Amino acid sequence: MNKKQLVFLWLGIIAFILVTIQLLRPYTFFIADAAKGPVKIVWLILVCRWLVIAVVTGGLICTFQNKKDKKAKHEQKQ
């Protein structure tokens, strides 16, 4: 893995965490006031955001792959 790939991997991980925190944050006031009921998380939105981040991060990592890495993988297959 080269430097650009590593940078985008870490950016993807950070985005993954920030999206999760951002989605859960509006519901934290339910925790303080238990009389209102349990914490409700919109799992479909959270999973969709995770998938988008994973696809974009994976695409960027593949895009910035070195030609040497591509040649080595191609030679290993043969």
Each domain of the chain, given as residue ranges in start order, spans 3-77
CA nearest 24: which of 58, 61, 52, 49? Answer: 49
What does the alpha-carbon distance between residue 65 and residue 3 come to, in Å, rounded to a whole number? 10
Is the pLDDT confidence value at 28 over 70?
no
Q: How much is the pTM?
A: 0.64
Residue 19 pLDDT grade (very low, low, confident, very high; cuts 50, 70, 90): confident
What is the spatial distance between Cα 59 and Cα 64, in angstroms, rounded to a whole number? Answer: 9
CA distance 22 to 20: 5
